[in-house]
Amino acid sequence: IKKFVGKAICFSSHDEAVEAIDNHTVREGHVVVIRYEGPKGGPGMPEMLAPTSSIVGRGLGKDVALITDGRFSGATRGIAVGHISPEAAAGGPIGLIQDGDEIIIDLTNRTLDVNVSEAELHARKQNIEPFKAKVKTGYLARYTALVTSANTGGILKVPDE
């Protein structure tokens, strides 16, 4: 498959997506969008093998795509784009995608596009809820506050004083 065009079905966690795939909410022609699973959102950028395995296990490996700010290992099968950066928790555009948006994955041209106008994306950005960290105390809270998105290495970066 060199190109996939489908309608977004959005989830804010790995677990929500797996449940929807397993209960047949996800159907042929969907692009499963899993956000808030990057370094900051996860926290820690968890593996996304279960959703892709569920898609392939249901026989939808050529009919459903998946995009995420989460991480894949080498075991992923099907149409999957991961490590999307900047991640949703850092204000990345994956957080602006809504159910029903047309998504185009073009492997030949190495592009991933959402067929939504810049004006609409700008309006969505103005109305998006700020990210709320899952962990509020301890090391993971500090990690969440300091970690960068995958495109900059998912490193801890102390703000300039």
pLDDT at 73: 83
Residue 161: pLDDT above 60?
no
Residues with Cβ within 8 Å of residue 109, at least 6 apart in sequence = none
Active site residue 73: yes
Out of 12, 13, 53, 73, pick the active-site residue: 73
**pLDDT tens digits, 19-39:** 999 999 999 999 999 999 999
Please state whether beta strands 30-34 and 65-68 pair in parallel, antiparallel, or not at all (unpaired).
parallel
Q: Which pair of tokens denotes residue 121?
A: 């994306």
- The total of structural domains in the chain comes to 1
Handedness of CA 77, 39, 93, 12 (dihedral sign): positive
| Rounded percentage of the chain residues whose pLDDT exceeds 70 | 99
**In CATH, what number is assigned to the domain containing residue 137?**
3.50.30.80
In this structure, is residue 160 part of a structural domain?
Answer: no
What range defines the domain where residue 142 resides? 3-118+125-152
In this structure, is residue 52 part of a structural domain?
Answer: yes
In this structure, is residue 158 part of a structural domain?
Answer: no
Average pLDDT over residues 137-146: 92
